[in-house]
Amino acid sequence: MIDVLQREFIYLWYYFSIQFHQIVKYWAFGIFLGSVISVYGKDKIHRLFVSIQNKRLGVFGVIPAGLLGIASPLCMYGTIPIAASFSEKGMRDDWLAAFMMSSILLNPQLLVYSAALGRTAFVMRFVSCLICGILAGLCVQFFFRNKNFFNFSGFAEPANRDTDPNMLIRLLKNIWRNVKATGGYFLIGIALSALFQRYVSPDAFASLFGSQQGFGVLMAATIGVPLYVCGGGTIPLLLEWLRHGMSMGAAAAFMITGPATKITNLGAVKIVLGSRQFGIYLLFTILFAITTGLIINFYL
């Protein structure tokens, strides 16, 4: 019995170490880049978003709003008070919707993590998240033109934790906070991928998420709801799933529904949307994820 356990441990450690060495550089660089943007560029990004209010872009403003949402390094609970301050300054709801939707789905740190999945997945994630944000803004514009979509009453901009007068110390503190926030999930994700690689049949997985592409997209969109906890923690799993035959469309569906329905994000979004708009948000997210996955599978 001990020999069997020792053998299995050696196998699992082997798979774990391979995954770790393949992905850790993306995780480390993602944390560094996210911290640099948070310390040196966050306020500039938000000021730039406010400045486009005077550009008279009309409905086309959802495009730069979506891009700035992706560039923002804040989590959803940090994004909402910022969005509340934008709303107080007269920012349009459709632009705010594009900004917030894109920010939910992607940030600079997660985008760097996604580079570990390969160029196709990297580009696909960026483009699909941007389009999702743009479409969210357009839906708010056309269906809620004369109504308030958000309710930011009671929200105030959060205190900035990056306040150390020494910029280098400020950056190091931010990096350490990011390591503590994501490191555990990152290691758990690698451990789960090692277990998956050792004990799950590649043929069975490929038949579920690869060859049955329509059903695979639906399944991936569904499992993204309960399984997604941390973006960095899901990258090792996605990398292993793609190697075992998961279609790119199924991966796209997972990468959309996952962050959009992550429990912390749902709690934050529910606060500012109310029950009716919250239901619309969930329906929009799931339909977009499934449609995107099917389109990607059709063309790839």
What pLDDT digit, counting tens, does each position of 14-37 carry? 778 887 888 888 888 888 887 888
Q: How many CA atoms lie within 13 A of 287 on its CB side?
A: 8
In the predicted model, is pLDDT for residue 228 greater than 70?
Answer: no
Please determine, for residue 211, whether its predicted confidence score (pLDDT) is greater than 60.
no
Kindly indicate the confidence band of residue 132, based on its pLDDT and cuts at 50, 70 and 90.
very high
- Report the range of poorest mean pLDDT among 86-90, 91-95, 128-132, 217-221: 217-221
100: left (phi over 0), alpha (psi -120 to 50) or beta: alpha
Give pLDDT, residue 289.
93
**Residue 159, pLDDT above cutoff 60:** no
pLDDT at 161: 63
pLDDT for 102 equals: 93
pLDDT value of position 292: 94
Number of domains in the chain: 1
Average pLDDT over residues 170-198: 80
Burial class, 256, CB count within 10 angstroms (exposed 0-12 / middle 13-18 / buried 19+): buried
Rounded percentage of the chain residues whose pLDDT exceeds 90: 19
pLDDT per residue as tens digits for the range 69-120 = 998 877 666 677 777 778 777 788 899 999 999 998 988 888 998 998 999 9
Give the sign of the dihedral formed by CA 34, CA 39, CA 41, CA 43. positive
pTM for the complete prediction? Answer: 0.84
Predicted pLDDT of residue 64: 92
User: Would you state the pLDDT for residue 129?
Assistant: 94
Residue 38 has pLDDT above 90, yes or no: no
C-alpha closest to that of 78 among 133, 149, 156, 134: 156
Give me the amino acid identity at 36.
V
Integer angstrom CA distances of residue 90 from 84, 85, 142, 201, 290: 10, 9, 18, 55, 34
* Structural domain containing residue 218: 1-157+166-299
Average pLDDT over residues 170-178: 84
159, HSE (Cβ side, Cα atoms, 13 Å): 2
